[in-house]
């Protein structure tokens, strides 16, 4: 066991530049996707609660289709489809960012919807009685209360999203998992290499 940890430590020291590059790329991707998917998911979540079928049903279909599709397929779709639509190649990091934003926003939208619908109608009716406009109710009453109710679910989703960044390696993004694959292809020490990477993911995701 001691030899195993010595070998793992040596691998990390010898490949620290590549591992650090992959780690910071993972953090960058997770941070950017977290912000954009939260914004997009909040908008979609609010639209999901609308009664107008013209708004409600397209949003419902978007959420259900994306949630029913594996993330790896969404990544492949964006990576292969967008260059054809734009008639030019797209950077793998940008492809992963777009795909993950689309994917994660669908899950966040459902969390937002559930949080909004958990608010008592009596609170909204009281706000209307005080003369607040619907936009003011949404901004000052509904969203703050809903966010408090949604914090546990959002935390779990962001942890899952951080781990989902590992799938970006499939299209060539040099994040942490891709860095581990490159190192393993050179050293053929898969157990030691991927155990270290798993430890990094676990350390950041554990709460």
- pLDDT tens readout for residues 138-195: 777 777 887 888 888 999 999 999 999 999 999 989 999 999 998 888 888 788 888 8
- Under a CB-based contact definition with an 8 Å cutoff, are residues 60 and 48 in contact? yes
Tell me which residue range forms the domain holding 143: 2-205
Q: Measured between alpha carbons, how far is residue 158 from residues 8, 33, 91, 186 in Å?
A: 28, 9, 24, 33
Q: How many folded domains does the chain comprise? A: 1
Label residue 28 exposed, middle or buried (CB < 10 Å: 0-12, 13-18, 19+).
middle
131-134: list long-range contacts, CB under 8 Å, 24+ apart: none
Is residue 77 very low, low, confident or very high in pLDDT (cuts 50, 70, 90)? very high
pLDDT in tens, 12-53: 787 888 889 999 999 999 999 999 999 999 999 988 888 888
Query: For residues 42 and 144, what is the distance between their CA atoms, to the nearest angstrom?
Result: 12
- CATH code at position 35: 1.10.3720.10
What's the pTM? Answer: 0.86
Q: Residue 134 CB: number of other CB atoms within 10 A?
A: 11
């Amino acid at each position: 066991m001691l030899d195993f940890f010595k070998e793992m430590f040596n691998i990390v020291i010898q490949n620290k530049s590549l591992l650090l590059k992959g780690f910071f790329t993972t953090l960058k991707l997770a941070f950017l996707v977290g912000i954009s998917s939260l914004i997009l998911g909040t908008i979609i979540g609010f639209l999901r609660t609308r009664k107008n079928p013209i708004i409600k049903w397209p949003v419902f279909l978007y959420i259900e289709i994306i949630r029913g599709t594996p993330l790896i397929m969404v990544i492949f779709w964006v990576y292969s489809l967008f260059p054809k639509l734009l008639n030019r190649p797209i950077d793998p990091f940008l492809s992963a960012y777009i795909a993950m934003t689309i994917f994660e926003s669908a899950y966040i939208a459902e969390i937002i919807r559930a949080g909004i619908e958990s608010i008592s109608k009596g609170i909204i009716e009281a706000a209307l009685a005080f003369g607040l406009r619907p936009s003011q109710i949404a901004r000052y009453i509904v969203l703050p209360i809903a966010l408090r109710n949604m914090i546990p679910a959002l935390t779990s989703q962001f942890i899952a999203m951080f781990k989902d960044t590992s799938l970006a390696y499939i299209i060539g993004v040099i994040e942490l998992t891709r860095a581990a694959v490159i190192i393993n292809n050179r050293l053929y020490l898969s157990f030691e290499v991927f155990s270290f990477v798993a430890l990094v993911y676990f350390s950041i995701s554990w709460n």
